[in-house]
Structure 1
Amino acid sequence: MTSFKEKLDKELGEAPRFSQQLQERILHNVVQQDKQPRRWQYPMIFIGAVVTILILIVIGPWNQVDTSKHASIVELAQHEVKQFTIARNQEEDSFKAGRPGWILVQRAYKNDSETRLIANTLQKAVKSKMDNDYYAFRDVWVEFDNGQAAQLKMFLNDGQLAFCDQQTNVFYKVKDDDTASAFIALMQKDEKGISFSKIFTFLIIALLLGWLLDKAIRKKFSIPKEPKYINTSHQRTTYIAKLIQGATLIVFNLYGWFTYTAAISGYLVVTMLSDIVIDYYYGREEKRHYVSVGSFALVPLIIIFIIYFL
């Protein structure tokens, strides 16, 4: 080793490799980098996006209706019905119908024959006292051409039909048996059901596509699978993001927000984007974020399945 050092010194000389000024500048830059605070702005983007999604869900599209000037459903029925949706719900203290595409597991009606039927049904409704023999059957959301909308809880009692206006808490009974029967038949026709076979098949296809994308991207760009984390900071940030995602799932489940298409779509998008941001910040040299970007390509497929097949 000594002889090698002597040969190296003879070739390069024994003078310092860097000037004193350059050494001081390098040392100063190293010290300044050590003093810089940890950058948490990327996880904060994820948290901010989650909060924004929650606010949008709480606001809801139907809150645009001016309930302070809300007319009775009989008066509203004099206007043309643009569309209405129906959701299965036998809970009296919740409402699960809304604008088409906003709420899951509901059916939208826009045909003239259907809108005329509900308009005729509401015109035959009369204010009445709530009868304990009635039980909640469906939720009905109706939009009229004057810009107003009605949230109606549908009740049944041995073929008798009634509605409760959720915005005014007024109870109505339909005083025409033929009209009531026709509307009840419409409610029970072509309802969407959650098919386990559809969900299972879709999950298998989604998992297979995800596995193939992962393999193809890693092979194309030579992205290592191990180690899973670049450093301790990468692991800590990932755990924090997963903890927030898990807490969000619990909150969504407690408040029933997973009935909203926007809630599920927003949760998927924010979750995948957070993975992309974290992988890019810590592993962009190894192009680890390419794998997350590839997984994100499955999100539109999942959203389409939720909207059109559930």
Structure 2
Amino acid sequence: MTSFKDKLDKELGEAPRFSQQLQERILQNVNQQNKQTSGWQYPVIIIGTVMTLLFLIVIGPWKQVDTSKHATIVELAQHEVVKQFTIAQNWEEGSFKARRTGWNLGQQSYKKGSESMILANALQKSVTSQKDDNYFAFSDVWVEFDNGQAVQLKMFLYDEQLAFIDRQTDIFYKVEDDNTASALIALMQKEEKDISFGEMFTFLIIALFIGWLLEKAIRKKYSIPKEPKYINTSHQRTMYIAMFINSAVLILFNINDWFLYTAAICGYLAIAMISSIIIDYYYGREEKRHYVSIGSFILVVPLIIVFIIYFS
């Protein structure tokens, strides 16, 4: 090896292969490439991906059910047992708000029992008819049978007479038995869970206070600086884009009343927190800034569980 090096030195000389000026140019180009590679576009791509996943969560229940068309509701109710059903008051004929158990806030949910027998009897004692314009929509009922099939029933009322439309087949039915109809009407008119503004405001204040204490403790323990707020311009730009996306999704959820869905609430908060962790880790991992976001995420999980248990 030594003899080979000696021969190479004789051929090329012992002078440095690169001049000082050329070395500086090479280092400058490498640094520029590193800056371009570590741009703000990667966290934004990740945020966009997780937001897309959020929309996929919102479009339907966790557990998919069979919603294929059937002959009539009467035949389905005669051959299958009602496994569970939910009731959501809704005066708008063009929308449907009831979902599977645990999916909506404030809706009434029932498993097998006396209530399911009332519903089953009403369905079995229904007959197909022509829709009367005197009927007005007042409630939505989502029903799942033991065979896994689910139906959406838009309930109508007129002078104590009960009727409904099967949204899968668009067939109009009238409940012929007055006693059974009255029992089901009373069940649907049962008051839903009242979520007052005072309760929501109190819950929010407590959550913000606990979050403030937790952030202060984490920053003190790991010596995480609060200022400067942003590491660099790319960090600031990424945070602004993330806030814009979160605000746009928030407005979209409010327009479509998606915050009635527990999955939408959990999904929105989870995605917002995960995005914050990704950005903080990407730009501030040397200062452990992502520890604050991780602590907030750990706090949000039990708060969501308490929120759903109390308000659903």
Task: Give the TM-score normalised by structure 2.
Answer: 0.86
Sort the Cα spacing of 1:276 and 1:22 in 2 relative to 1 into closer, same or farther, 3 A. farther
Query: Which residue number corresponds to residue 152 of structure 1?
Result: 153
In structure 2, what is the equivalent of residue 288 of structure 1?
289
Contact 1:120 1:179 (8 Å CA) reproduced: yes
Displacement of 1:282: 1.1
Amino acid of the structure 2 residue aligned with 1:71: A
SS at 2:274 equivalent: helix
- Cα distance in 2 for partners of 1:22, 1:92 equals 80
Matched, 1:191 2:192: yes
Could you tell me whether the CA contact under 8 Å between 1:62 and 1:149 is conserved in 2? no
Aligned residue runs from structure 1 range 1-310, under 5 A: 28-36=26-34, 37=36, 38-60=39-61, 64-67=65-68, 69-78=69-78, 79-189=80-190, 191-310=192-311
Deviation of residue 198 (structure 1)? 2.0
**Residue pair 1:139, 1:151 contacting (<8 A) in 2 also:** yes
Q: Distance in 2 between matches of 1:206 and 1:66?
A: 39
Q: What RMSD, in angstroms, separates the aligned Cα atoms of the two structures?
A: 2.1
Cα distance between partner residues in 2 of 1:111 and 1:65: 19
Q: What secondary structure, in the 3-state scheme, does the structure 2 residue paired with 1:285 have?
A: coil
Task: Give 1:111 deviation, angstroms.
Answer: 3.5
Cα displacement (A) at 1:237 = 0.5
Deviation at 1:206, TM superposition (A): 0.2
How far is the alpha carbon of 1:150 from its aligned partner? 1.0
When structure 1 is superposed on structure 2, of 31-40 and 21-30 the one drifting more is 21-30
- Partners of 1:239 and 1:152 lie apart in 2 by 44
For residues 73-122 of structure 1, the C-alpha deviation after alignment (integer angstroms, 9 at most, x for no partner) is 11111111101011121111111111112222212101421111110011
**% identity of equivalent residues:** 58
Measured after TM superposition, the shift of residue 232 of structure 1 is 1.0
Aligned length: 291
Distance 1:144 1:189, change over 3 A: same
* SS of equivalent to 2:139: strand
SS at match of 2:192: coil
Structure 1: give runs of 5+ residues left out of the alignment: 1-18
The verdict on how the C-alpha distance between 1:59 and 1:112 changes in structure 2, with shifts beyond 3 A counting, is: closer
Deviation, 1:285, is: 1.4
Alpha-carbon shift at residue 307 of structure 1 (Å): 2.2
TM norm structure 1: 0.87
CA, structure 1 residues 22+74, in 2 after alignment: closer, same or farther (shift >3 Å)? farther
Query: Residue type of the partner of 2:49?
Result: G
AA aligned opposite 2:32:
D
Give how far 1:191 is off: 2.1
For structure 1, which segment, 188-197 or 133-142, has the greater mean C-alpha deviation from structure 2 after superposition?
Answer: 188-197
* 5+ residue gaps, structure 2: 1-15
Aligned AA for 1:34? Q
CA displacement, residues 25-67 of structure 1 (integer Å, 9 cap, x when unaligned): 6753442131243252222111111112213323556874343
Cα deviation for residue 287 of structure 1 reads 1.2
